[in-house]
Amino acid sequence: MFKKNVDAKALQRLSGADKKKLRRTAKQRFPQASDDDLDAILPPKVEITVAKYPSRTLVYGIEGELPMLFDIDGRGHELFPTVYALWKVPYLLPAFTLKGGEVSHFILGGADLMFPGISVPPEGLPSFQAGQPWSVKVPGNPAPIAVGTTTMSNTEALKAGLRGKALRIAHYYKDLLWASADGRYVPNEGFYDDMVIEDPNFASASQHIDSSEDPSEGKQDKAAVDVSECLTEDRAINSETIENVTAGVSELNLPQEKTTEEQTEEKEHQHLSTEEIDSLLDICLLQALHTNIKDKDLPMPGSILWSNHILPCRPPGVTLDIKKSSHKKLSKWLQSKSSSGLISVKEDKHKKEVMLISISRKHPDYTTFKHHKRVQEPVEQHDNIVADGSSTKQLEVDEIYKPSSHVNPIFLAVDADTGKYYSASEASDVVFRYVEKENLVKQTDKAKVILDATLCDALYKGAVKKGSAYPSEIHKKDLGSTFINRMQIHHRVARGNEVAIRKGAIRTVQIMTERRQGNKKMTRVSGLECFLLDADSLASELQKKFACSTTTAELPGKKGQHEVLIQGGVIENLAKHLVEHHGVPKRYIEVYDKTKK
């Protein structure tokens, strides 16, 4: 909608009668909005202006401040809040939550929201109709990033298999409507130039945001962000964040019981003193420097260091909030570590962000620190006991990559095997070994790599449009991901001595509950073969566990693939059973409840 630079034809103040009419229209369009909500975006005692654009579009704003509403057809039928309005009242509209921050990269590029990019909660899709205004959020960040119109109802979406376009985006953060405001504010530290990730401050207060929030519940959330109270200048993010932030953000949240001991432990963690938090910060930093961060990853933005490396190193059950430390701010803490000589940091004057430049691996704190191995989720660490008393062996799921004809010359140049499979980190190491061997690091800018003919062909041959020039250099932070994207993706699933390697990304287990013959419920589960599960054995197991009838059937048009049908609505218990007793990672389970209206 606001992708092209178009000047407004006229700008004028609204009369008192027009302001009241606009408020009534907004109340009808956003029925869940309270009077206080409307006062926040249309203050009663200030001047409201309207800017007229081509194609009847009207933009309403607070005079001399921010645009708050826009009307696509000029008649109030398609009135939307701007992101500035949503940052003041985050729950003005119901919201879809993306599967991860990396998906926001496409939204900020002007793409519409597709159903595969939406995180579906355990209870299934919420109810919505075609043509309704909805917003878009990122997991762990309360501030919406876009608004648009639904293209179909939730019933139609389920019939379509959750494929196709979900939301026709009308306005988004970073478009020209957002840019028309003086200052171009952002609401929190999760907003960057080409991507939005979780807000580290919000994440410490709330570990989970549903994929679609109920507006009435949302208003009670004290973590709602007002842009007028929390403004930070926008910053740029590198593509490494896109690669790293993917892990774990789209995991399905399932109810899990906690023991009294675990609850007591969590309560103890929640009352850490300032000194204990300072000490824990230092431990997490040293753990990250030892296990996660390599010199080739530098320079690294402080926000990426925090979200992708520091937070994952905290102990289980611990909430780590930088504001509760003696430093209060991430930048001040990093500068204090720089003063001690452990690391070197520098402020990027353009991005207004502290960057990690180098690590002193000979520093006494670094050399004397004894790091521990990262512990994975319990369901993937030990053998599990199923309902009939037998045990299932640990399930391992990995994405792996095989060299393609594009990258084979790079592997051969460093004597790496072109016939084996590589993890993402191993594949990235291969290309950096080639860079080191050929001395391709740019001498005047150590953060960039010069592309020789072999490396250029490996990265871009066949991918550059005809008539376009091939790049002559690439940033270090983009090299690994670009190289991996030119390889063939496979996945490996192993349980004990049974191992399966298949081409393509791993498919999800799909669980669906629907009504059959009146009010009776039936639950279906498919995609079991991907995780080395036998449909007949699982059907027998579930029959005993849920005390109900079960059967199996071959999926139409998919030879060798079966689904299990279970009598009754056992959608949540079934998902939990697959996680706890068969080790299926939660992020690979999708649930759809077609019984909810």
Q: What is the DSSP string of 325-365?
A: SSS-SHHHHHHHHHHTTSEEEEEETTTTEEEEEEE-TTSHH
Residues 330 and 436 in one domain: no
CB 100 within 8 A of CB 246: yes
Kindly state the average pLDDT of the residues 527-551: 89
Sheet bearing 395-402, strands edge to edge: 395-402, 488-495, 498-503
For residue 374, is it within any domain?
no
CB 167 within 8 A of CB 96: yes
Residues 124 and 272 in one domain: no
Q: What tokens were used for 495?
A: 């349980």
Q: What tokens were used for 581?
A: 């007793």
Residue 206 DSSP code: -
How far is it, in rounded angstroms, from Cα 7 to Cα 180?
Answer: 10
For residue 110, is it within any domain?
yes
Is the pLDDT assigned to residue 174 strictly greater than 70?
yes
Residues 458 and 519 in one domain: no
Task: Provide the residue type at 158 as one letter.
Answer: L
For the chain, the domain total comes to: 4
Residues 281 and 212 in one domain: no
> Residue-wise over 407-436: b if at least 16 C-beta within 10 A, else e?
bebbbebbebeeeebbebeebbbbbbbbbe
Cis peptide before 67 (omega within 30 of 0): no
For residue 493, is it within any domain?
no
How far is it, in rounded angstroms, from Cα 271 to Cα 246?
Answer: 31
pLDDT of residue 517: 66
**Domain-ending residue, one of 246, 271, 304:** 246
Average pLDDT, the chain: 80
How far is it, in rounded angstroms, from Cα 342 to Cα 335?
Answer: 10
Helix (H, G, I), strand (E, B) or coil at 541: helix
pLDDT of residue 516: 76
More confident residue, 261 or 574: 574
Is the pLDDT assigned to residue 424 strictly greater than 50?
yes
Kindly state the average pLDDT of the residues 515-525: 82
pLDDT tens digits, 4-63:
665 666 678 889 899 999 999 999 888 888 888 899 999 888 899 998 877 788 999 988
Residues 231 and 360 in one domain: no
For residue 500, is it within any domain?
no
Q: Which residues contact 288 (CB under 8 A, 6 or more apart)?
A: 305, 309, 310, 312, 313
For residue 398, is it within any domain?
no
Helix (H, G, I), strand (E, B) or coil at 481: helix
Residues 194 and 268 in one domain: no
Residues 431 and 560 in one domain: no
Residue 590: φ, ψ to 5°: -120, 135
Kindly state the average pLDDT of the residues 55-80: 85
Kindly state the average pLDDT of the residues 280-307: 84
The pTM score is 0.40
How far is it, in rounded angstroms, from Cα 70 to Cα 52?
Answer: 10
CB 402 within 8 A of CB 421: yes
How far is it, in rounded angstroms, from Cα 302 to Cα 125?
Answer: 36
Q: How far is CA 46 from the centre of its chain?
A: 38
Q: Which of 166-175, 324-333, 509-518, 540-549 has the lowest mean pLDDT?
A: 509-518
pLDDT of residue 195: 86
Residue 522: φ, ψ to 5°: -135, 135
Q: How far is CA 570 from the centre of its chain?
A: 28
CATH number for the domain harbouring residue 465? 1.10.245.10
**Domain-ending residue, one of 368, 393, 426:** 368
Q: What tokens were used for 496?
A: 């004990």
Q: How far is CA 354 from the centre of its chain?
A: 23
Residues 46 and 169 in one domain: yes
> Which residue do the tokens 């589960």 mark?
525
Q: Which residues contact 537 (CB under 8 A, 6 or more apart)?
A: none
Q: What angle do CA 277, 280, 285 make, to 5 degrees?
A: 125
Residues 417 and 447 in one domain: yes
Is 222 exposed, middle or buried, given 0-12, 13-18 or 19+ CB atoms closer than 10 A?
Answer: exposed
Kindly state the average pLDDT of the residues 173-183: 83
pLDDT tens digits, 210-260:
444 444 444 444 334 444 444 444 434 344 433 433 333 333 344 444 443
CB 126 within 8 A of CB 105: no
Q: What angle do CA 186, 192, 194 make, to 5 degrees?
A: 125
Confidence of residue 558 (pLDDT cuts 50, 70, 90): confident
Is the pLDDT assigned to residue 2 strictly greater than 80?
no
Q: Which of 256-270, 417-431, 444-458 has the lowest mean pLDDT?
A: 256-270
For residue 97, is it within any domain?
yes
For residue 382, is it within any domain?
no
More confident residue, 136 or 559: 136
Residues 301 and 421 in one domain: no
**Domain-ending residue, one of 199, 220, 246:** 246
Confidence of residue 188 (pLDDT cuts 50, 70, 90): confident
CATH number for the domain harbouring residue 552? 3.30.780.10
Kindly state the average pLDDT of the residues 128-136: 93
Task: Provide the residue type at 69 as one letter.
Answer: L
pLDDT tens digits, 333-347:
998 998 888 999 888
Residues 132 and 5 in one domain: yes
pLDDT of residue 184: 67
Task: Provide the residue type at 560 as one letter.
Answer: G
The pairing of strands 589-593 and 509-516 is parallel
CB 201 within 8 A of CB 30: no
How far is it, in rounded angstroms, from Cα 218 to Cα 449?
Answer: 47
Kindly state the average pLDDT of the residues 523-529: 91
pLDDT of residue 324: 85
How far is it, in rounded angstroms, from Cα 233 to Cα 351?
Answer: 8
Residues 85 and 220 in one domain: yes
Instruction: Tell me which residue of 566, 565, 567, 586 sits closest to 575, measured CA to CA.
Output: 586
Is the pLDDT assigned to residue 382 strictly greater than 50?
no
Domain boundaries, position 442: 404-486
How far is it, in rounded angstroms, from Cα 40 to Cα 86?
Answer: 10
For residue 496, is it within any domain?
no
CB 136 within 8 A of CB 107: yes
